[in-house]
Structure 1
Amino acid sequence: MALELSATAEPPGWRAWLGPIRPAFLLLSICCVLLGAAVVHWTRGGVDWQRLGLVMAGALLAHAAVNAFNEWADFQNGLDARTTRTPFSGGSGTLPRHPQLAPYALSLAIAALLLCAAIGVYLLWQEGPALLPLGLSGLALVLSYSFWLVQRPWLCLIAPGLGVGPLMVVGTTLALGAPHSAAAWAASLPPFFLGNGLLLLNQFPDLEADRWAGRRNLPIVYGRRVAAGVYLLLLLAAFAALPLAVLAGWLPVPALLGLLSLPLAVFAGRRVWHAPDRIETLLPAMACNVALNLAMPLLLALGLWLS
């Protein structure tokens, strides 16, 4: 298939060379690292900005690696040829348009992962073994998501949230020299629940293609209606976790700024619940869902900075 496509493939431009890492998707990692930095600012009164830059680079490299591995895997197994892409699902479409870039995508994924690991080793040397469990978990997540986790419905559900929630938020606080704290873990819960919901909703349009490729995510195994219910529970959990953390004293009152993103959740949740099988109706909900995943951690981070 790749050889047949390459005969009519257009020459790749600069966008194609960046395509496998899905640059727009990397904004979520930036928001979550900034949230971790805000926790450190609130608990310790200051942030090492140079170290923060290094942590940000590591997080972006990890996210780029998992995206590139996913692009390569979906092209190799033929899934890309069966997927109807939307702005939020179905991959970037880079490799179907430029199949000659498939080896490059794999090399890019490996290089990004190795650079991320090198940054992790340096931070481990600087901060000690507290980072090791999170670092190893992050590497395992990047390597296994596209090749193993996508066949296990409940692990596939929570893997994205683990990546952008505890691994990024708590990992950032530890890399910046802060000890384990209830504040860090509490701040990581909204991105955890929302990140799971982000990938879950993005699986809705790809149900038939993913089933053909042998994947076993929640929409495939239980249907879109059940998956819609799980999505609503994830939204509820994200918006319940924040006030509960404030009531417990783990986060300050200004952290409740994160609740300003609630209208986005209401809009997305209503659309998903009332029309889980109508993809054209879900597209505005998917756009709103992306905005929610960016807005809530940023508003929560702003509240912590203001504290």
Structure 2
Amino acid sequence: MGVHSTPAIERDHGFKIWWQLMRPHTLTAAFVPVLLGSVLALKYTDIHYGLFAAMLIASLLIQAATNMFNEYYDYVRGLDNESSVGIGGAIVRNGVKAKTVLNLALSFYGISMLLGVYICMKSSWWIALIGLICMVVGYFYTGGPIPIAYTPFGELTAGLFMGVAIILISFYIQTGSVTISSILFSFPIFLLVGAILLANNIRDLDGDKLNGRKTLAILLGRKGAIYLLGAMFLISYLWIAALIVFMHVSFWMLLTCLSIPKAVQAIKGFIGKSAPIQMMPAMKATAQTNTIFGFLLTVGLFIAYII
């Protein structure tokens, strides 16, 4: 019998280490809501591009910092190892000191707070309170004694704070108000941002169960979680159809239907799979569905406003 060696884990180098640490495929969960909230405001006012840029950068930094807190605390709790799938791997694979990752995340929070001061000066200081709550939630998503990510409320929390809250803040700082329309348009993004976390938890289901987590995917079981993911996609598209029928919004919103193949790809990518590495394409397709759906919804709104 021959001796079979385990393939070496490929390590990242240079800038790629820090880029992967931010988990770039998740950053659309911050980018899409800011873009959508700002375009929704076009119906009522001209866009203040300084506020838009500040909100976008702050949101991206908070999302990246949240990912770094995740990396740090999973390492501290002994949940990550060199072969773990879906992590940045800066600590366990590339030799970056855990404290460096934590300090970088805190630095990103610091820059976000400075941007927040500018946003508040140009809009309302109430934004400071809401922004602080979002940052605290981002930290406790994987930090603290009972991380939100380890409970059945991870998807709900992510959808509310990375979907609805960012859309409404982006809308408010441009218009000075929140409308029923802006809330209704935020709902499908709430579902799709939550879907990204659900996809992550489906992939990590077996490992999370061994480590005592109680995620929604674990409670529902793999099949039930995949059904829920499909329902979240379906409701998102039906919601847009309902807005067209009952709220008389433009038929240009149907551009979102062009993202359906990517949602189907995501669901098919989970069916019959059990190894985390097998489910990585499905998880990425879920994040891409959020990106494409949100971008097409934004394009549809923009076209509707200018014609």
The TM-score with structure 2 as length reference comes to 0.85
Distance 2:72 2:248 in 1: 41
For residue 231 of structure 1, the aligned residue among 221, 229, 232 is 229
Counting only pairs closer than 5 Å after superposition, residues 263-278 of structure 1 correspond to structure 2 as 263-272=261-270, 274-275=271-272, 277=274
Query: Shift of the alpha carbon at 1:69?
Result: 0.5
What secondary structure does 1:79 align onto?
coil
CA-to-partner distance for each residue in 1:150-186, whole Å, 9 max, x for gaps?
A: 2321x11212212331111111111223410122212
Residue aligning to 1:3: none
| 1:142 partnered with 2:143 | no
Residue aligning to 1:247: 245
The amino acid that maps onto 2:290 is N
Question: After the TM superposition, which of the residue ranges 286-295 and 243-252 deviates more from structure 2?
Answer: 243-252
Distance 1:54 1:45 in 2: 18
Query: Shift of the alpha carbon at 1:206?
Result: 1.7
Residue aligning to 1:34: 35
The amino acid that maps onto 1:301 is T
Distance 2:126 2:248 in 1: 21
Identical counterparts, % of pairs: 25
> Is contact 1:157-1:217 (8 Å) kept?
no
Distance 2:275 2:19 in 1: 31
Distance 1:280 1:60 in 2: 26
Counting only pairs closer than 5 Å after superposition, residues 112-151 of structure 1 correspond to structure 2 as 112-129=108-125, 131-132=127-128, 134-147=130-143, 148-151=147-150
User: Are residues 18 and 11 of structure 1, via their aligned partners in 2, closer, same or farther at CA, if it must alter by over 3 Å?
Assistant: closer
User: Are residues 283 and 66 of structure 1, via their aligned partners in 2, closer, same or farther at CA, if it must alter by over 3 Å?
Assistant: closer
Distance 2:20 2:268 in 1: 32
Distance 2:77 2:95 in 1: 13
Long gaps (5+) in structure 2: 1-10
Residue aligning to 1:287: 284
| 1:110 partnered with 2:106 | yes
User: Are residues 125 and 251 of structure 1, via their aligned partners in 2, closer, same or farther at CA, if it must alter by over 3 Å?
Assistant: farther
> Is contact 2:91-2:98 (8 Å) kept?
yes
Query: Shift of the alpha carbon at 1:251?
Result: 4.0
> Is contact 2:22-2:67 (8 Å) kept?
yes
User: Are residues 15 and 305 of structure 1, via their aligned partners in 2, closer, same or farther at CA, if it must alter by over 3 Å?
Assistant: same
Question: After the TM superposition, which of the residue ranges 72-81 and 297-306 deviates more from structure 2?
Answer: 72-81
Counting only pairs closer than 5 Å after superposition, residues 66-81 of structure 1 correspond to structure 2 as 66-81=66-81
Distance 2:129 2:182 in 1: 16
CA-to-partner distance for each residue in 1:245-265, whole Å, 9 max, x for gaps?
A: 233327433222112212222
Query: Shift of the alpha carbon at 1:54?
Result: 0.9
The amino acid that maps onto 2:141 is Y
> Is contact 1:31-1:298 (8 Å) kept?
yes
Counting only pairs closer than 5 Å after superposition, residues 16-27 of structure 1 correspond to structure 2 as 16-27=17-28
For residue 92 of structure 1, the aligned residue among 88, 92, 97 is 88
User: Are residues 47 and 143 of structure 1, via their aligned partners in 2, closer, same or farther at CA, if it must alter by over 3 Å?
Assistant: same
CA-to-partner distance for each residue in 1:13-49, whole Å, 9 max, x for gaps?
A: 22223432223432332222111111111x2252111
Question: After the TM superposition, which of the residue ranges 20-29 and 274-283 deviates more from structure 2?
Answer: 274-283
The total of aligned residue pairs comes to: 292
The amino acid that maps onto 1:144 is F
Distance 2:131 2:28 in 1: 21
Distance 1:101 1:251 in 2: 51
Distance 1:12 1:267 in 2: 31
Distance 1:252 1:301 in 2: 12
The TM-score with structure 1 as length reference comes to 0.85
User: Are residues 250 and 277 of structure 1, via their aligned partners in 2, closer, same or farther at CA, if it must alter by over 3 Å?
Assistant: farther
User: Are residues 205 and 11 of structure 1, via their aligned partners in 2, closer, same or farther at CA, if it must alter by over 3 Å?
Assistant: closer
Question: After the TM superposition, which of the residue ranges 229-238 and 57-66 deviates more from structure 2?
Answer: 229-238
Distance 2:83 2:73 in 1: 13
The amino acid that maps onto 2:174 is L
The amino acid that maps onto 1:91 is I
Distance 2:276 2:92 in 1: 22
Residue aligning to 2:58: 58
CA-to-partner distance for each residue in 1:182-205, whole Å, 9 max, x for gaps?
A: 222122112110111111112223
Residue aligning to 2:4: none
